[in-house]
Amino acid sequence: MSACDRPGLLPMEAALERLLALADAAPVEQIESVALVEADGRVLAEPLVAALDLPPWANSAMDGYALCLADWNGQALPVSQRIQAGSAPEPLQPGSCARIFTGAPLPHGADTVEMQENVDLDDAGRAVFRETLRVGQNVRAQGQETRRGECVLPAGTRLGPVELGLAASLGVAQLPVRRRLRVAVLSTGDELVEPGQALGPGQIYNSNRRLLIAWLQRLGCAVTDAGILPDDLPRTRAALGALGEVDLILSTGGVSVGEADFLGLALREAGELALWKLAIKPGKPLTFGHYQGVPVIGLPGNPASTLVTFGLLARPYMLRRLGVQRVEPLGFPLPAGFTWSKPGMRREYLRARLEHGRVVPYANQSSGVLRSAAWAEGLAEVMEGSTLAEGDMLRFIPLSEILG
Ligand SMILES: Nc1nc2c(c(=O)[nH]1)N[C@H]1C(S)=C(S)[C@@H](COP(=O)(O)OP(=O)(O)OC[C@H]3O[C@@H](n4cnc5c(N)ncnc54)[C@H](O)[C@@H]3O)O[C@H]1N2
Ligand code: MOO
Ligand SMILES: [Mg+2]
């Protein structure tokens, strides 16, 4: 029996497909204009079209001498002007060359730049060109990077340092972005206390809350911290109903089959439990539903399960709601540095790192062990039903690809 055949266990692709379809059906459409300095991590709402050529004028790629090669007879040329970046040159005097520096505008009439290392100055201060020259060498033509009117970034681009630099290079000071996704974070569990407090009997510190809030902030979300919810059905209902205007409720814990797992129960009772048991490990009891019309993603409470399901399912869902098209991490193939002899029913995401070019998993893969992810550099994907010998290829998803 494969994982796909196993009753009630949904394969990863099917779960993601469903989540993305739900996201497509509930897009965040509002747009706001933000200064570039505020735009890191936000999602571009309209295509960015160049309003000017880049570069705006031909300029020199080297420190050296600019000349008109067509008019040159191979003789030493007098230096008729000096052009620094930021200056406005005179047209090039016929029969002369111009001293020029990197990024300075080419004077009208010049078509070629020779780097200064290949030029000598004779006793009369004329430039002697030692090497063969080629028309256009070391010249960055106007519009060679971008022509006015070209789309340089499509709508739905997630803005990062490169995109912001590109927008700045085009003189754009403000960008239209989708408004922030408003996410409420709920931690469920009677056993949870916050760091800084004393641990009572049976209690543990709430780690998921900090993990998720930091991650959501990196994702550009507006976060409502809804604190800790006790394992109690009436209070779960009340808390879910009191979260105000949010686009998503993200909870951890309380979604498995235990008698104290009330999140799933509250959603089922409201008639809006949509999901699922997934064929992935960790992360099997991921839950999706709505509460009074607001989407709810119930992440499994075990911290490594929270990490994997948020990174591989909730994060893509959230980005898609903002209009990002490619939302899944790509990862890349790498050879396994371990063997896997027992094919599993669920696809496994091992917290792993690279050692000597091979993927090595953390020794303790229990889904309660968050330390595994702090040690790891990525998630090693072991497909359901498969075995691995050392050197077999698997997909490695760097944590850096999903953490942000
Ligand atoms: N009989 C079964 N029991 C369990 C199954 C199952 O199929 N049958 N699935 C297991 C799997 S797999 C997972 S994953 C967990 C998921 O459980 P829940 O999502 O209901 O989460 P809880 O039971 O509330 O907590 C699980 C675990 O994680 C700890 N936890 C919860 N929240 C936090 C937090 N904010 N910070 C740190 N640690 C947290 C909690 O104390 C538990 O140890 O269910 C299995 N059981
Ligand atoms: O599927 Mo659970 O998340 O392994 O512990
Ligand atoms: Mg439970």
pLDDT reported for residue 333 = 98
Ligand 1 centroid – CA 138 distance (Å)? 63
Ligand 3 centroid – CA 209 distance (Å)? 16
pLDDT reported for residue 326 = 96
Q: Report if residue 78 sits inside a domain.
A: yes
Radius of gyration of the chain (CA): 30
pLDDT reported for residue 5 = 46
Burial of residue 167 (number of CB atoms within 10 Å: 0-12, 13-18, 19+): buried
DSSP-derived 3-state class of residue 163: helix
pLDDT reported for residue 275 = 65
Q: Are residues 314 and 283 in the same domain?
A: yes
Q: Report if residue 89 sits inside a domain.
A: yes
Q: Report if residue 230 sits inside a domain.
A: yes
Q: Are residues 187 and 165 in the same domain?
A: no
Q: Report if residue 134 sits inside a domain.
A: yes
pLDDT reported for residue 259 = 81
Q: How far apart are CA 139 and CA 113, in angstroms?
A: 6
Domain that holds residue 171: 33-50+154-178
Both tokens assigned to 25 = 């059906």
* Residue to mutate, 277, 284, 308, ligand 2, most ligand atoms under 8 Å from C-beta: 284
Q: Report if residue 77 sits inside a domain.
A: yes
DSSP H or E segment with residue 79: strand 79-83
| CATH label of the domain that carries residue 45 | 3.90.105.10
Ligand 2 centroid – CA 171 distance (Å)? 49
Which residues are CB-neighbours of 21 under 8 A, at least 6 positions away? none
Q: Are residues 16 and 128 in the same domain?
A: no
Q: Are residues 301 and 383 in the same domain?
A: no
Q: How far apart are CA 146 and CA 52, in angstroms?
A: 8
Q: Report if residue 66 sits inside a domain.
A: yes
Q: Report if residue 149 sits inside a domain.
A: no
Q: Report if residue 108 sits inside a domain.
A: yes
Ligand 1 centroid – CA 213 distance (Å)? 19
Residue 275 vs residues 18, 125, 259, 334: alpha-carbon distances, Å: 9, 80, 19, 32
| CATH label of the domain that carries residue 135 | 2.170.190.11
pLDDT reported for residue 4 = 42
Note down pLDDT in tens along the chain; length 404 residues: 444 445 579 999 999 999 999 999 999 999 999 999 999 999 999 999 999 999 999 999 999 999 999 999 999 999 999 999 999 999 999 999 999 999 999 999 999 999 999 999 999 999 999 999 999 999 999 999 999 999 999 999 999 999 999 999 999 999 999 999 999 999 999 999 999 999 999 999 999 999 999 999 999 999 999 999 999 999 999 999 899 899 999 999 988 887 878 888 888 888 777 767 899 999 999 999 999 999 999 999 999 999 999 999 999 999 999 999 999 999 999 999 999 999 999 999 999 999 999 999 999 999 999 999 999 999 999 999 999 999 999 999 999 999 99
Q: Are residues 199 and 174 in the same domain?
A: no
DSSP H or E segment with residue 166: helix 161-169
Q: How far apart are CA 86 and CA 308, in angstroms?
A: 51
Neighbours of 173 (CB within 10 A): 10
Q: Are strands 151-153 and 48-49 parallel, antiparallel or unpaired?
A: antiparallel
| Burial readout 247-280 (b: 16 or more C-beta within 10 A, e: otherwise) | bbbbbbbbbbeeebbbbbbbbeebebbebbbbbb
- Residue owning the nearest CA to atom 44 of ligand 1: 256
ipTM over 0.95: yes
Q: Are residues 193 and 313 in the same domain?
A: yes
Q: Are residues 38 and 160 in the same domain?
A: yes
| CATH label of the domain that carries residue 337 | 2.40.340.10
Q: Are residues 116 and 173 in the same domain?
A: no
| CATH label of the domain that carries residue 198 | 3.40.980.10
**Total domains, the chain:** 4
- Residue owning the nearest CA to atom 2 of ligand 2: 282
Q: Are residues 287 and 169 in the same domain?
A: no
Around ligand 1, the residues with Cβ closer than 6 Å are 187-189, 191-192, 204, 206-209, 252-258, 261, 282, 284-285, 300-303, 305, 367-368
Q: SS3 breakdown of the chain: % helix, strand, coil, rounded to 5? A: 20, 30, 50
